Amino acid sequence: MVESVPPPAREIASGYALTGAAIELGALLWEGRCLPEAPIRIPLSMLNRHGLVAGATGTGKTKTLQLIAEQLSANGVPVFLADIKGDVSGISAPGQPGERVGERAAQVGQEWEARGFPAEFYGLGGIGPGIPVRATVTGFGPVLLSKVLGLNPTQEQSLGLIFHYADAKGLELVDLKDLRAVVAFLTSPEGRAELKDIGGLSAATAGVILRSVTAFEQQGAGGFFGEPEFDTSELLRTAPDGSGLVSVLELAAVQGKPQLFSTFLMWLLADLFHELPEAGDLAKPKLVFFLDEAHLLFTGASKAFLEAITQTVRLIRSKGVGVFFVTQTPKDVPSDVLAQLGNRVQHALRAFTPEDAKALKATVRTFPNSAYDLEEVLTGLGTGEAVITVLSESGAPTPVAATRLRAPQSLMGPVDAAALDAAVRESPLYERYARAVDRESAFEKLAAKAERAEPEQEKAPEPKARGGDRDDGSLVEQVVGSGVFRSLARSVGTQIGREITRSLFGTARRRR
Binding site for ligand ATP (CB under 6 A): 55, 57-63, 67, 85, 104, 383-384, 405, 407, 412
Residue showing the smallest CB distance to Mg ion in the complex? 62
- Interaction mask 10-49, Mg ion, x per CB under 5 A: ----------------------------------------
Backbone angles phi, psi at 85, to 5 degrees: -95, 0
Residues in contact with 329: Cβ distance below 8 Å, sequence separation at least 6, in sequence order: 54, 349, 359, 362, 363
> What number of CA atoms fall less than 13 Å from residue 133's CA on the CB side?
27
Stretch that binds Mg ion, among 58-66, 139-147, 343-351, 460-468 (CB under 5 A): 58-66
Rule CB under 5 A: say whether 398 interacts with Mg ion: no
- Rank residues 171 and 415 by Cβ distance to ligand ATP and give the closer one: 415
Least distance to ligand ATP, CB of residue 383, Å: 4
Min. distance of Cβ 318 from ligand ATP in angstroms? 30
Q: Which stretch binds Mg ion (CB under 5 A): 54-62, 295-303, 308-316, 442-450?
A: 54-62
Alpha carbon separation from 97 to 94, 103, 327, 384, 475 (Å, rounded): 9, 10, 28, 17, 61
Contact range with Mg ion by CB under 5 A, out of 62-70, 137-145, 165-173, 202-210: 62-70
Binding partner selected for residue 405 from Mg ion, ligand ATP, none, CB under the kind-specific 5 to 8 Å limit: ligand ATP
Give the nearer residue to ligand ATP in terms of CB position, either 89 or 136: 89
Query: Residue 51 Cβ, how far from Mg ion at the closest point, in Å?
Result: 16
Give the nearer residue to ligand ATP in terms of CB position, either 57 or 494: 57
Closest approach of Mg ion to the CB of residue 60, in Å: 8
Task: For residue 51, give the H/E element and its range.
Answer: strand 51-54
Distance in Å, CB of 305 to ligand ATP, minimum:
25
d(CA 134, CA 499): 23
Residue among 257, 334, 327 nearest 303 (CA): 334
Q: 85 vs 435, which CB is nearer to ligand ATP?
A: 85
Secondary structure of 382-403 in HEC code, one letter for each residue: CCCEEEEECECCCCCECCCEEE
Provide DSSP, 264-326: HHHHHHHHHHHHPPP--S-SS-SEEEEETTTHHHHTT--HHHHHHHHHHHHHHGGGTEEEEEE
Distance of CA 350 to the CA centre of its chain: 27
Stretch touching Mg ion by CB under 5 A, among 21-29, 61-69, 239-247, 492-500: 61-69
- Please identify, using beta-carbon distances, which residue of 194 and 385 lies nearer to ligand ATP: 385
Q: How far is the CB of 315 from Mg ion (least distance, A)?
A: 28
Q: Using CB under 5 A, which residues numbered 411 to 440 contact Mg ion? A: none
Contact 176, 170 (CB under 8 A): no
Tally the C-alpha atoms within 13 A of residue 291's C-alpha that lie toward its C-beta.
Answer: 28
Q: Which does 464 bind (CB under 5 to 8 A by kind): Mg ion, ligand ATP, none?
A: none
Q: Which does 123 bind (CB under 5 to 8 A by kind): Mg ion, ligand ATP, none?
A: none
Q: What are phi and psi of 30, to 5 degrees?
A: -140, 120
89 interacts with Mg ion by CB under 5 A: no
Alpha-carbon 171 to chain mean position: 28
235 and 268 in contact (C-beta within 8 Å)?
yes
Nearer to ligand ATP, 96 or 152 (CB): 96
Of the pair 55, 222, the CB lying nearest Mg ion is at 55
The option from Mg ion, ligand ATP, none interacting with 102 (CB < 5 to 8 A, set by class) reads none
133 binds, among ligand ATP, Mg ion, none (CB under 5 to 8 A by kind): none
The answer to whether residues 319 and 279 touch, using CB atoms and an 8 Å cutoff, is yes
Strands (E), 328-420: 343-347, 385-389, 401-405
Complex with Mg ion: residue 143 or 405, whichever CB lies closer? 405
Q: What is the distance, to the nearest Å, from the Cα of residue 102 to the centroid of all Cα atoms in its chain?
A: 34
Nearest to 47 by CA among 4, 26, 76: 76
Q: Min. distance of Cβ 64 from ligand ATP in angstroms?
A: 6
Give CA–CA dist 321/279, Å, rounded: 10
If DSSP codes are grouped into helix, strand and coil, which group holds residue 225?
Answer: strand
Picked from Mg ion, ligand ATP, none, the partner binding residue 412 (CB below 5 to 8 A depending on kind) is ligand ATP
CA separation (Å) from 121 to 94, 142, 187? 17, 28, 42
Candidates 32-40, 60-68, 426-434, 452-460; binding stretch for Mg ion (CB under 5 A)? 60-68
Least distance to ligand ATP, CB of residue 53, Å:
9
* Beta carbons within 8 Å of 413's beta carbon, 6+ residues apart: 87, 90
Q: 52 pairs with which residues across the strands?
A: 325, 344
Residue 417 Cβ, how far from ligand ATP at the closest point, in Å? 19
Does residue number 62 form part of the binding site for Mg ion (CB under 5 A)? Answer: yes
- To ligand ATP, the closest distance from the beta carbon of 343 in angstroms equals 16
Question: Does 59 interact with Mg ion (rule: CB under 5 A)?
Answer: no
Q: Which helix H or strand E contains 192, and what residues bound it?
A: helix 192-198
Least CB distance from residue 57 to ligand ATP, whole Å? 4
Distance CA 430, CA 228 (A): 12
| Contact call for residue 327 and Mg ion (CB under 5 A) | no
User: Which partner in Mg ion, ligand ATP, none is near 506 (CB below 5 to 8 A by kind)?
Assistant: none
Per CB under 5 A, residues contacting Mg ion are: 61-62
